[in-house]
């Protein structure tokens, strides 16, 4: 198992019959460092790569290139993470690492999902909070309000951030998701006085 930092990514390669790369795409590593396997959280959207991944069977070979990337958690004691959709993947690596190492501090995950059914790792996120009381998970739904839903609703905004962090300037920030989320959160956090040097962004689309 290659060594990696929480938040890094790797290229997954589809291999041809000769074992050479026929296609590749980067995916964030969701597992924590030091484990016995490398986990990826991939949303199957019938795209160029995912349509090929869907055809694979257990035991089929893939190529993995990496780890790569600087979007990493390196031990900051006050850390806030913002995930949109499958952007949860690098933060699962970070939070699993924080929980496994029993790190102390203030750790807040803001996770925006369109629907409750679209939430990945919901049960594990609850268990991570139980494993480390310094971890807080805030999930907001943007497209529905299910019966009995006790989380937040609507797009992430400065009021929601203040509610769960008190002062955004006290935290280092990581944002991962679609570019629409990246741009809105970059502007939002800048408006709240967050130092740009304490902001890491990773987006797509």
Q: What is the pLDDT of residue 205?
A: 78
CATH of the domain at 56: 2.40.30.10
Same structural domain for residues 97 and 62?
no
What is this structure's pTM?
Answer: 0.94
Average of per-residue pLDDT across 79-96: 97
**Residues 18-37 pLDDT 10s:** 999 999 999 999 999 998 89
Say if residue 80 is exposed, middle or buried (CB neighbours under 10 Å; 0-12, 13-18, 19+): buried
Average of per-residue pLDDT across 34-45: 90
- What share of the chain in percent tops pLDDT 70? 100
Angle at 146 between CA 159 and CA 152, to 5 degrees: 15
CATH of the domain at 178: 3.40.50.80
The edge-to-edge listing of strands for the beta sheet with 106-113 is 152-153, 135-141, 106-113, 78-84, 172-178, 199-204
Q: What is the pLDDT of residue 190?
A: 97
CA–CA distance, 50 with 42 (Å, rounded to integer): 8
The number of residues making up the chain comes to: 205
Same structural domain for residues 38 and 101?
no
**Domain extent for 110:** 78-204
Res. 43 pLDDT band, cuts 50 70 90: confident
Q: How many domains does the chain have?
A: 2
Same structural domain for residues 181 and 91?
yes
Determine contact, residues 181/84, Cβ cutoff 8 Å.
yes
pLDDT exceeds 90 at position 189: yes
Average of per-residue pLDDT across 130-143: 96
Res. 3 pLDDT band, cuts 50 70 90: very high
Q: What is the pLDDT of residue 151?
A: 94
Say if residue 150 is exposed, middle or buried (CB neighbours under 10 Å; 0-12, 13-18, 19+): exposed
Q: What is the pLDDT of residue 2?
A: 82
Same structural domain for residues 114 and 166?
yes
Same structural domain for residues 26 and 83?
no
Packing angle of the helix pair 179-191, 158-165 (nearest 10 deg):
60
Res. 182 pLDDT band, cuts 50 70 90: very high
Q: What is the pLDDT of residue 172?
A: 98
Res. 125 pLDDT band, cuts 50 70 90: very high
């Amino acid at each position: 198992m290659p060594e990696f930092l929480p938040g890094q990514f790797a290229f997954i390669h589809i291999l041809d019959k000769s074992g050479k790369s026929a296609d590749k795409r980067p995916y964030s590593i969701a597992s924590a460092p030091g484990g016995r396997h490398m986990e990826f959280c991939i949303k199957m959207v019938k795209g160029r790569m995912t349509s090929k991944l869907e055809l694979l069977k257990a035991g089929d070979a893939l190529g993995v290139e990496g780890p790569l990337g600087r979007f990493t958690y390196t031990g900051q004691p006050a850390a806030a993470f913002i995930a949109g959709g499958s952007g949860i993947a690098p933060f699962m690596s970070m939070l699993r690492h924080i929980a496994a190492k029993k790190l102390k501090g203030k750790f807040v995950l803001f996770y925006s999902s369109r629907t409750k059914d679209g939430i990945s790792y919901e049960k594990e996120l609850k268990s991570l909070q139980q494993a480390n009381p310094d971890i807080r998970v805030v999930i907001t739904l943007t497209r529905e309000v299910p019966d009995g839903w006790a989380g937040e609703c609507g797009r992430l905004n400065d009021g929601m951030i203040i509610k769960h962090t008190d002062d955004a300037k006290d935290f280092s920030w990581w944002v991962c998701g679609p570019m629409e989320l990246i741009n809105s959160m970059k502007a939002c956090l800048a408006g709240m006085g967050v130092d740009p040097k304490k902001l890491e962004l990773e987006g797509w689309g």
